[in-house]
Amino acid sequence: MGNIFSADEVGIIENELELHGSYASTTRGISMRPLFKTGRDMVIIKKPQEPLKKYDVVLYTGTSNKYTMHRIIAVKEDHYVIRGDNTYKKEYVKKDRVIGILTEFNRKGKHHTVTERSYKIYSRIWHYIYPVRHFLHACCRFASRIYHKIFG
């Protein structure tokens, strides 16, 4: 569900990061919605140069050798607690499995960096509303059904 890079890209991404220090790709998957939409948005991943911190979005290898990009929600001594913006399950990722960090992205055709104030505010708000997100999603689905029944 959260895999945004295919198995075909497994060696390519690490080679690009090693050779050029960055990798750019369009996103796939729904686990980082609403921030990223499949096929619409592009991300730029770079090799981490400094210690990673809470709210960083990282690219890591999963257990099935696929790359996944999710947000760090806690930093522990030997691992990160990570969760996608559109998921409810925490993941525990060893620090050595992280190969890149999100530094820039194009969303809806507009360029952004992770240092922008608006992005930082989004990251924190989205993290803090986590406990009620499931309820909000249910309300939106219910409102959508009502809207479609009324207006077709």
Q: Cα 68 to the chain's mean position, in Å?
A: 8
Give the closest residue to 76 by CA, choosing from 60, 88, 94, 49. Answer: 94
Q: For residues 138 and 88, is the Cβ–Cβ distance under 8 A?
A: no
| DSSP label at residue 40 | T
pLDDT > 50? residue 1: no
Task: Place 115 in a pLDDT band, splitting at 50, 70 and 90.
Answer: very high
Domains and CATH numbers, the chain: 3-151 (2.10.109.10)
- By residue count, the chain amounts to 152
Give the closest residue to 1 by CA, choosing from 35, 38, 26. Answer: 38
Report the pLDDT value the prediction gives residue 131, as an integer from 0 to 100. 86
Q: What is the mean pLDDT of residues 104-130?
A: 94
Computed from CA positions of residues 77, 23, 45, 39, in that sequence, does the dihedral angle turn out positive or negative? negative
* pLDDT tens-digit map of 41-81: 999 999 998 899 999 999 998 767 788 999 999 999 999 99
Identify which has the larger pLDDT, 6 or 130.
130
pLDDT > 70? residue 6: no
pLDDT > 90? residue 104: yes
SS (H, E, C) 46-101: ECCCCCCCCCCEEEEECCCCCEEEEEEEEECCCEEEEECCCCCCCEEEEHHHEEEE
Average pLDDT, the chain: 89
